[in-house]
């Protein structure tokens, strides 16, 4: 079992290598702090938990990172796994350290392994973007490396998921950050669990050929060293077998067996200066046969991850090809530790953080890549200033424009979530809905069925077009008052165009029937639907038109039947003599004529006017010309008259019909009149500009009952909307 003191000692050793003179008291305090906080916890292998942070700190120290990063590594699990708080760590070890720990905690909480393939690219971007400070990523990679090294204690399921995640996220990241050494180790351990058989095949082949390989490498190394020493070039040369996963990948890509693969050997020549690099290259090409097309100059054109070296592939005396990489010590450092090496060189002039960040940004932004093969798994990472990546409580990643709020998040999930949003939690704490989200935040939207929907302010708060569009849509749909006004106007205009009575002027029962037919609960609902464009006024009116027409006709008939006379007829006075069927009260045997203006027929309520020299003129009481009856000066000339009940002679009367213009309507009218055996004196029509026509029909009837019966027959004709008694 691993012990605390072993690990503490090797951390000391790693620190002594590059910061021998630095005050170690803060680091020692962090070791004690973490040890105390984790004291109840054990690793899966039963060793004390503190071993893990110590080992992670050691890896971070091997990268040569600064004190803050070492502190961050030591405390990296404190916020997540113990009662330690950000504030407590900030107070004791400084804000920078606390922020590093918090950053690592966020990455730890992010559930990368549950993500789907297509989210991978987003995840990598997010991973980078989440870490304002690149050291967070470096600590996290160190954390993962130590967890990979101790993977044997995990359950098989966890091994697979963690190794998958390592292949998908951590190894490509390490590569992108130029940390070859870590990348290789991560890949090799992951492969061991993901394809144990494939891994074992390669390992056993390598074991079986170990002596042979070593002898070969020894020969080549000596040959190179001898030549360079002869030429007075200060250099270190060593050979190695490429790492297992790169061999594995080559086999898969080239569909070759292990013994068919060439190029599994790599030699490094590390020198002091760049001119030495080119100098060495010349000697290598002189010593061995060059394999054409394999030379690459990454010194004049560094890789995006800042890697620099000369690469060439040559064939040795035994016909075995091998690669030679030539670089300076500084290039070597960058190749091994990548971005981390940068800290090594910057050690001492801390505070240039802004500039460091620029360097990282440039590195990450440069997408030029000349070596496709090496970049099979390469990443396209930007710092994504314009994007923020957050999580749903279930771990789904959501990408939003920078500065987005819980409102944007809610609408990104679903417009229904946005519309019923009442509040939000970020990282389990209630926040204002205008809070700007940060990378890695876990966002939970609080919704309510009784939510009133988005507020107009949200349009100013939200950052995403998606949210804005959806909120606008909602207002379009839900801005009820405006929609009602708008919808009502177009509905009523359509009704008027068709000369239909407007809602509110029809009988309650009829209106209810119409609403049922339209499938709305109220006229306002109908108007709102028309207002937002869910239904056109034409369509709505078309659906109820026939019902209204029919009902109005029925009503008219009923009215006519119930109340044919506005003034009940006086009891017949038999002693009065009727002239032309009309009895004039108080006046006997006077001349009677029927007013042309209103053509009264028996049954109509009538009134008489004593004309100057033409006897009594009979009007309907509803004739506009009877207005004079109310004039006190003329009142004496108006006399009460009534129909003689026995009179059966025909009278002329006129109806005006409001109709929708159509061919054949005149014919229909004529047919009805003929069928009813009515004597038509005049039938004419006039088209109005709005698609309507007015027909005037003058005909003979014996009484008002007959008139109403004919009127109803006319109203039953299709497209006849209404009728009026004629007023000449
Ligand atoms: Mn950890």
Which pLDDT tens digit goes with each residue over 489-522? Answer: 889 888 888 778 888 888 888 888 899 988 888 8
Residues within 5 A (CB) of ion ligand 1: 77, 143
pLDDT at 55 over 60: yes
449 phi/psi in degrees, rounded to 5: -65, -25
- Residue spans of the domains in the chain: they are 4-153, 202-345, 358-477, 479-562, 582-643, 651-725
Alpha-carbon distances of 182 from 94, 141, 145, 337, 496, rounded to whole Å: 28, 8, 7, 8, 81
pLDDT: is 302 or 695 the higher one? Answer: 695
> Can 4-153 and 651-725 be said to share one CATH topology?
no
| 385 neighbors 128 (Cβ within 8 angstroms) | no
Query: How many helices (DSSP H) and strands (DSSP E) are in the chain?
Result: 29, 20
Q: Note whether 397 and 403 are within 8 A (CB).
A: no
- 56 CA → ligand 1 middle, Å: 8
Question: Residue 300 burial by CB count (10 A; 0-12/13-18/19+): exposed, middle or buried?
Answer: exposed
Tokens read off for 384: 């994504």
Pick from 129-138, 246-255, 289-298, 322-331: least confident: 129-138
Q: Is 81 a catalytic residue?
A: yes
Ligand 1 geometric centre to CA of 104 (Å): 9
Q: What is the structure's pLDDT at 71?
A: 95
Between the CA of 55 and the centroid of ligand 1 the distance, in Å, is: 10
| CATH class, range 358-477 | alpha beta
**CATH code of the domain made up of 4-153:** 1.10.3210.10
The DSSP result for 203-266, as a single string, is HHHHHHTHHHHHHHHHHHHHHHHHHHHHTT--EEEEEEEPPHHHHHHHHHHHT--GGG----EE
Q: Which residues pair with 590 in a beta bridge?
A: none
Query: What pLDDT shows up at residue 296?
Result: 87
| Least reliable range by pLDDT among 294-298, 306-310, 314-318, 568-572 | 568-572
Catalytic residue among 21, 45, 77, 81: 81
- pLDDT band with cut points at 50, 70 and 90 for residue 104: confident
Give the Å distance between the CA of 76 and the centre of ligand 1.
6
**160-205 pLDDT per residue, tens:** 988 988 888 888 778 777 788 899 999 999 999 999 999 999 999 9
Residue 8 has pLDDT above 80, yes or no: yes
Ligand 1 centroid to Cα of residue 74, in Å, is 9
Predicted confidence band of residue 93 (pLDDT cuts 50, 70, 90): very high
Instruction: Quote the tokens at residue 517.
Output: 């037919």
The CATH code belonging to domain 202-345 is 3.30.460.10
Residues 284, 122: Cα–Cα separation, whole Å: 43
Q: How far is the CA of 52 from the centre of ligand 1 (A)?
A: 7
Yes or no: say if 641 and 584 are a contact pair by the CB < 8 Å rule: yes
Cβ burial of 612 (10 Å; 0-12, 13-18, 19+) is exposed
Pick the CATH number of 651-725 from 3.30.70.260, 3.40.1580.10, 3.20.20.60, 3.40.630.10: 3.30.70.260
Cα of 439 vs centre of ligand 1, distance in Å, is 20
Residue 593's pLDDT is: 83
**Whole-number pLDDT of residue 576:** 57
Asked about 80 being catalytic, the answer comes back as yes
Give the DSSP H/E element, type plus range, for residue 541.
helix 537-562
The pLDDT > 70 percentage for the chain reads: 85
Report how far ligand 1's centroid is from the alpha carbon of 53 (Å).
7
What's the CA-to-centroid distance between 151 and ligand 1, angstroms? 13
> 628-651 burial by CB neighbour count: b if 16+ within 10 A, else e?
ebeeeeeeeebbebbbbeebeeeb
pLDDT of residue 559: 65
CA of 725 to the centre of ligand 1 (A): 96
604 alpha carbon, distance to own chain's centre: 71
pLDDT band at 386 (very low <50, low <70, confident <90, very high): low
Q: Which of these is catalytic: 2, 12, 80, 434?
A: 80
Res 116: pLDDT: 53
């Amino acid at each position: 079992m691993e012990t605390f003191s072993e690990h503490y000692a090797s951390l000391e050793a790693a620190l002594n290598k590059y910061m021998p003179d630095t005050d170690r008291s803060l680091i020692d305090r962090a070791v004690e702090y973490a040890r105390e906080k984790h004291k109840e916890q054990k690793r899966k292998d039963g060793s004390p938990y503190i071993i893990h942070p110590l080992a992670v700190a050691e890896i971070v120290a091997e990268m040569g990172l600064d004190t803050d990063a070492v502190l961050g590594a030591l405390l990296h699990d404190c916020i997540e796994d113990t009662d330690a708080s950000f504030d407590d760590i900030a107070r004791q070890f400084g804000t920078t350290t606390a922020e590093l720990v918090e950053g690592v905690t966020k990455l730890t909480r992010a559930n990368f392994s549950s993500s789907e393939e297509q989210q991978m690219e987003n995840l990598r971007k997010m991973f980078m973007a989440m870490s304002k400070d690149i050291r967070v990523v470096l600590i996290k990679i160190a954390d993962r490396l130590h967890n990979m090294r101790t993977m044997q204690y995990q359950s098989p399921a966890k091994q697979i998921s963690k190794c998958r995640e390592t292949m998908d996220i951590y190894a490509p990241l390490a590569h992108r950050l130029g940390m070859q050494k870590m990348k290789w180790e991560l890949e090799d351990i992951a492969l061991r669990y993901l394809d144990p058989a494939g891994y074992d095949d390669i390992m056993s082949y390598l074991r079986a050929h170990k002596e042979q390989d070593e002898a070969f490498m020894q020969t080549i190394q000596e040959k190179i060293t001898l030549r360079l020493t002869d030429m007075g070039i200060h250099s270190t040369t060593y050979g190695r077998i490429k790492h297992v996963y790169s061999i594995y990948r080559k086999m898969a890509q080239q569909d070759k067996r292990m013994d068919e693969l060439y190029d599994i050997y790599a030699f490094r020549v590390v020198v002091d200066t760049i001119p030495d690099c080119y100098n060495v290259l010349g000697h290598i090409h002189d010593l061995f046969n060059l394999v054409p097309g394999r030379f690459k100059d990454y010194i004049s054109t560094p890789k995006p991850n800042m890697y620099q070296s000369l690469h060439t592939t040559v064939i040795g005396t035994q016909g075995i090809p091998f690669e030679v990489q030539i670089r300076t010590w500084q290039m070597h450092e960058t190749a091994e530790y990548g971005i981390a090496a940068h800290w090594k060189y910057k050690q001492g002039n801390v505070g240039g953080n802004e500039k460091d960040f620029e360097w990282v940004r440039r590195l990450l932004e440069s997408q030029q890549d000349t070596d496709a093969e090496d970049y099979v798994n390469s990443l396209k990472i930007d710092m994504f200033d314009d994007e923020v990546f957050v999580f749903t409580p279930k771990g789904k990643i959501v990408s939003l424009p920078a500065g987005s709020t819980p409102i944007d998040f809610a609408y990104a999930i679903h417009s229904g979530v946005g519309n019923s949003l009442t509040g939000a939690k970020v990282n389990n704490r209630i926040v204002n809905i205008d809070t700007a989200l940060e990378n890695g935040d876990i966002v939970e939207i609080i919704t309510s069925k009784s939510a009133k929907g988005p507020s107009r302010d949200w349009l100013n708060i939200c950052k995403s077009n998606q949210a804005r569009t959806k909120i606008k849509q909602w207002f379009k749909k839900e801005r009820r008052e405006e929609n009602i006004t708008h919808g009502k106007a177009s509905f009523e205009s359509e009704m008027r165009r068709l000369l239909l009575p407007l809602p509110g002027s029809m009988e309650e029962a009829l209106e209810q029937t119409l609403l049922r037919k339209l499938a709305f609960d109220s006229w306002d609902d109908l108007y709102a639907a028309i207002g937002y464009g869910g239904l056109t006024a034409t369509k709505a009116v078309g659906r109820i038109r026939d019902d209204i027409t029919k009902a109005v006709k029925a009503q008219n008939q009923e009215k006519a039947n119930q109340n044919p006379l506005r003034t009940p007829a006086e009891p017949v006075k038999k002693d009065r003599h009727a002239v032309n069927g009309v009895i004039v009260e108080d006046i006997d045997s006077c001349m009677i004529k029927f007013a042309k203006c209103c053509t009264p027929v028996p049954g109509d309520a009538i009134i008489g006017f004593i004309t100057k020299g033409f006897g009594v003129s009979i009007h309907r009481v509803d004739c506009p010309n009877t207005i004079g009856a109310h004039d006190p000066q003329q009142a004496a000339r108006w006399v009460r008259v009534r129909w003689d009940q026995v009179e059966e002679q025909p009278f002329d009367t006129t109806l005006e019909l409001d109709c929708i213009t159509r061919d054949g309507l005149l014919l229909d009218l004529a047919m009805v009149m003929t069928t009813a055996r009515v004597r038509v004196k005049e039938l004419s029509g006039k088209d109005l500009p709005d698609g309507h026509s007015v027909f005037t029909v003058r005909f003979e009837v014996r009484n008002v009952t007959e008139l109403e019966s004919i009127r109803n027959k006319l109203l039953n004709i299709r497209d006849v909307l209404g009728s009026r008694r004629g007023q000449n």
